[in-house]
Amino acid sequence: MSDGEHGTSPTPADAAGGRVRTDPPVVEATDIVKRFGPTVALDGARITVRQGETHALVGRNGAGKSTLVSVLTGLQAPDEGTVSFGGEPAPRLADRDGWRERVACVYQKSTVIPTLTVAENLFLNRYGQGRGRPIGWREIRRRARDLLSAWSVEVDPQTLAGELDVEQRQFVEIARALSFGARFIVLDEPTAQLDGAAIHRLFDRIRDLQRQGVTFLFISHHLQEIYEICDTVTVFRDAGHILTAPVRDLPRSELVAAMTGEAATGRREERAGTLDRTAPAALTVRGLASAAYRDVAFEVGAGEIVGLAGAASSGRTEVAETVVGLRSADAGEVAVTGRRPRPGSVPAALAAGVGFVPQDRHHEGLVPDMSIADNATLSVPRRLGRHGFLSRARRDRLAAGMIERLAVKTPGPELPVSALSGGNQQKVVMARALADDPRLLVLINPTAGVDVRSKEFLLGKVEETADSGAGVLIASDELDDLRMCDRILVMFQGRVTTEMTRGWHDHDLVAAMEGVDLHA
């Protein structure tokens, strides 16, 4: 799709009668150029966000979305171009209060301080005490209650922020942003760690806040969310603006084509199965029980892909983590190709032939300050040397092969993994999971927070792994993660309630995950 197709936003009109809007945009960025050394992160980029809308910003990793957000929030100054809020030039970069009054970003990684209370987080550095005067904590708590009540955030201001779930932390961050006076909120991958019910609640809150005059810039890799919650979508690719269009007027195929530069191709609903019924089962789970699940029993055959679907509270993640040794069950057993690794031991699971992609690459999958090479080879030290001495040459050779196999975009294996885009970071996590040719590959939400093309690539590697004869267990509530599965086991409230084979329909799977019987 050329830049001319949908490339210039149409003259804004209201939904009721097509009347031309004359009010200035909430934010407008024009001809933005941003360079980091020889890398051009933004090249003539632009975006216009109108009052009261939820505006999607989408694009593959590396398209320039994060850099644009840093410019729109005053964290980076553009090398060229202009930013305005309500028709007025953006504040000076040093005027932090001026930026906070205009815009705030709720990031995928929470910025609340877990050891402080909700009230302390809401008014951090704004406690209002004069020099030499003690902080009036009773007044701080009262202000916090009033603020949370005003924006319908149901959280106790005296609760430690570390005790909040992901959804509550997001609402607290939104309330904090609104307390500065900002009415333009950037939501960066807000649904990446939420289950279906929490996503619906978030979307309801977004709609409520829109009615109160709050405008959102919504960044997500999940295209179905764009069509559910957003009014307008802007696509970036290769550091520049590709199109802006009303969501209702843009077919999904055109949106994907704009993001990738290619015609959209859907994943196959079914795959040519390679299940080897003569080989021992890759995974056998019998009578597994704990506080999070009970009476869980299933098998994953060699060459079979099995999905473990369910909402975040269903127990699916806990079962997967038990299989890989991150948790211990109170009862039951886990066997990998007939071998029973010691419960609650990740090294034992690895030794039994398990490869693992955890739920959260930021906290469980990567050591950010270490190199790509070190991260990719953490689980296979015996392949790097003997008697506790590691060979850097061996490490680099092994890492180079993994980088090539997973198509990680990097100038070399010594680059800190934190310097990679989200999609490439997830490829490094996948590379480590595959480093020892596992007999069983376990993945939890394997494509969370990655772009469309990276998602297709990663799922393709999963399919290749099964085709090689390994068993695969995918614990996820993301439908795209589950489409390749030979079977899907649906968990609800800690139990496996439904089994679905190939050819399942989205509405049946979602209903089962939510505990709804469509045929009742």
pLDDT tens for 84-139 read 999 999 999 999 889 989 998 888 777 888 888 888 888 887 776 555 566 777 87
Cα first-last separation, the chain: 46
Residues 6+ apart with CB under 8 A from 138: none
- Angle ∠(251,187,314) on CA atoms, nearest 5: 85
Does residue 362 register a pLDDT over 70?
yes
Q: pLDDT averaged over the chain?
A: 84
Q: Please, are residues 309 and 480 in contact by the beta-carbon 8 Å criterion?
A: no
pLDDT of residue 75: 92
* CA dist., res. 221 & res. 255, Å (int): 12
| Helices and strands (H and E) in the chain: how many | 16, 19
Among 141-145, 172-176, 236-240, 272-276, which range has the highest average pLDDT? 236-240
pLDDT tens digit string along 229-281?
999 999 998 899 999 999 999 987 788 788 877 554 444 445 555 666 778 89
Instruction: Determine the pLDDT at residue 399.
Output: 81
Q: What local confidence, expressed as pLDDT, does residue 330 receive?
A: 96
User: Which domains, and CATH codes, for the chain?
Assistant: 1-112+181-265 (3.40.50.300), 114-163 (no CATH), 283-513 (3.40.50.300)
Return all residues near 433 (Cβ < 8 A) that are at least 6 apart: 355, 356, 357, 379, 441, 443
**Residue 470 and residue 295 in contact, taking contact as beta carbons nearer than 8 Å:** no
Burial (CB count <10 Å: 0-12, 13-18, 19+), residue 111: exposed
Token pair belonging to 296 = 């869980």
With vertex at residue 333, the alpha carbon angle to CA 330 and CA 336, rounded to the nearest 5 degrees, is 140
The predicted-structure confidence for 268-297, as pLDDT tens digits, reads as follows 445 555 666 778 899 999 999 999 999 999
Q: Is 83 a residue whose pLDDT tops 60?
A: yes
